[in-house]
Amino acid sequence: MVVTYEQALSIVQDKIGSANRLPGVETVPLDQAFCRILAGDVTADRDLPPFHRAIRDGYALRAADLTVLPAVLRCVGEVAAGRNFEAEVQPGQCVSIMTGAPLPTGADAVVMVEYSVSHGDDIEIQRRVQPWENVVRRGSEAAQGARILGRGRRLQAAEIGLLASVGKAKVAVYRKPCVAILPTGDEVVPIEQPPQWFQVRNSNAAALAAQIQSAGGMPLQLGIAPDRTDRLRGMIEQGLVSDLLLLSGGVSMGKFDLVEEVLAELGAEFFFQGTAIRPGKPLVFGRVRGLFFFGLPGNPVSTYVTFELFVRPALVLLGGASFEPPVFLRARLAKPFRQKTGLTMFLPARVWTQDFDPVVEPVGWQGSGDLVGVAAANCFLLIHPEQTDLAAGEWVDVMPKGQ
């Protein structure tokens, strides 16, 4: 069954979502939590910020003292970040304050130092402020006990910083799904081995391992399977211990494309066999002996793109997070584009900003084998089947290349 891009994505979401298996939980130090998935809600251990915090250098004062300008206030002290001003600021008084310092009691606003002139301890204030201006109020970002991150969140740099701010030196995350990688093909040789002129190096397994890690998975290299049913079957069986099996190559129509045949012999069910996309048309998705698998087309760009489109969201879901479909942004086409393939195309492209608009142009590339082209790209230009004749300047969908 060949399905559209949208159908394929929703099949992946349905099948993996309804399998409803949450991974086990482990506790890791925060500096090892990057790209992991939170296994429980996290609450603020104190108000954020924990005190009324000055966000400008200037004078802490009572806003009501500034009804007549310029106002002259008596400076009764100084408070820097990491310090506290013990006394209460009285009417007619101010305290010199630095960014990050707690607002002294009695004060309710900060006037920036730029709007003041000091005459010894008498400070002339030249601008009015609203109450709480230049101050972030205690608890305004999150109150103590409030949920600041929910179970299932993928931890990126901002989330790591937030966890640190509430004292989480260790964090409970889901165990990484183990993803078995099985490249196939008689022509494929290990990267350490000098290839003969008719052989290719196993670039897919290396790229896939990096993609898996960035999606929060743990790659398991099974080695290279030759185009022989018995060896292929044996190596697939070794991958059955994993949480997801990725095969590369051997899913096209050639005489030695044996992957589907061997999977069928092992009792696999196929949810789709082919998607109307380019690159990546022969993509296969199914389940064998309880294990989800993808048969990725062997061309390196096809492997890369089909991972980003389907495997990444599947893996994030298997890892305990919520489904995250690829995000498309919009840019203007730099040059006209024509196609009559009837397919959804994902072309390696570069997007840049010109006169405040994003503009996109495909990189010169030699088709689905061309990793040089993908490495030069910073996005993929998405052309829908019905977009047969696009003029320069039209708005089109763009998928950022990501990791």
**For binding to ligand AMP (CB under 6 A), which residues are involved?**
183, 185, 187-188, 200, 202-205, 248-250, 252, 254, 257, 297-300, 369
Smaller CB separation from ligand AMP, 110 or 181: 181
Q: Which stretch binds Mg ion (CB under 5 A): 78-86, 250-258, 301-309, 387-395?
A: 250-258
Smaller CB separation from ligand AMP, 92 or 223: 223
Q: Which stretch binds Mg ion (CB under 5 A): 139-147, 245-253, 320-328, 358-366?
A: 245-253
Neighbouring C-alpha atoms within 13 Å toward the C-beta of 152: 10
Q: Which residues between 170 and 229 bind Mg ion (CB under 5 A)?
A: 185
Residue 393 CB, nearest approach to ligand AMP (Å) = 36
C-beta of residue 362 within 8 angstroms of C-beta of residue 336: no
Residue 165 binds which one of ligand AMP, Mg ion, none, with CB within 5 to 8 A depending on kind?
Answer: none
Residue 105 binds which one of Mg ion, ligand AMP, none, with CB within 5 to 8 A depending on kind?
Answer: none
Smaller CB separation from ligand AMP, 167 or 190: 190
Q: Which is nearest to 269 in space by CA: 247, 292, 253?
A: 292
Q: Which helix (H) or strand (E) covers residue 262, if one does?
A: helix 259-265
Residue 209 binds which one of ligand AMP, Mg ion, none, with CB within 5 to 8 A depending on kind?
Answer: none
Residue 206 CB, nearest approach to ligand AMP (Å) = 8
Smaller CB separation from Mg ion, 336 or 367: 367
Q: Return the DSSP state at 140.
A: S
C-beta of residue 166 within 8 angstroms of C-beta of residue 44: yes
Smaller CB separation from ligand AMP, 223 or 234: 223
Residue 403 CB, nearest approach to ligand AMP (Å) = 19
Residue closest to ligand AMP (Cβ): 298
* The binder of Mg ion chosen from 219, 239, 250, 274 (CB under 5 A): 250
C-beta of residue 5 within 8 angstroms of C-beta of residue 309: yes
Residue 208 CB, nearest approach to ligand AMP (Å) = 9
Q: Return the DSSP state at 193.
A: S
Residue 263 binds which one of Mg ion, ligand AMP, none, with CB within 5 to 8 A depending on kind?
Answer: none
Residue 188 binds which one of ligand AMP, Mg ion, none, with CB within 5 to 8 A depending on kind?
Answer: ligand AMP
d(Cα 209, Cα 220) in Å, to the nearest integer?
8
Structure tokens at 73: 């206030």
d(Cα 284, Cα 238) in Å, to the nearest integer?
20
Structure tokens at 224: 């290279």
Structure tokens at 120: 């010894």
Smaller CB separation from Mg ion, 214 or 252: 252
**Cα first-last separation, the chain:** 31
Residue 286 CB, nearest approach to ligand AMP (Å) = 17
d(Cα 171, Cα 150) in Å, to the nearest integer?
13
Smaller CB separation from ligand AMP, 204 or 344: 204
* The binder of Mg ion chosen from 183, 249, 300, 313 (CB under 5 A): 249
Residues in the chain: 403
Q: Which amino acid, 238? A: Q
Q: Which is nearest to 398 in space by CA: 342, 346, 357, 322?
A: 346
Residue 363 CB, nearest approach to ligand AMP (Å) = 19
Residue 38 binds which one of ligand AMP, Mg ion, none, with CB within 5 to 8 A depending on kind?
Answer: none
d(Cα 41, Cα 166) in Å, to the nearest integer?
13
Residue whose pair of structure tokens reads 């500034």 in the numeric block: 66
Q: Which helix (H) or strand (E) covers residue 266, if one does?
A: none
Residue 29 CB, nearest approach to ligand AMP (Å) = 35
Smaller CB separation from Mg ion, 249 or 362: 249
Smaller CB separation from Mg ion, 173 or 224: 224
Q: Is 246 left (phi over 0), alpha (psi -120 to 50) or beta?
A: beta
Structure tokens at 54: 């000055």
Residues engaged in binding Mg ion (CB under 5 A): 185, 249-250
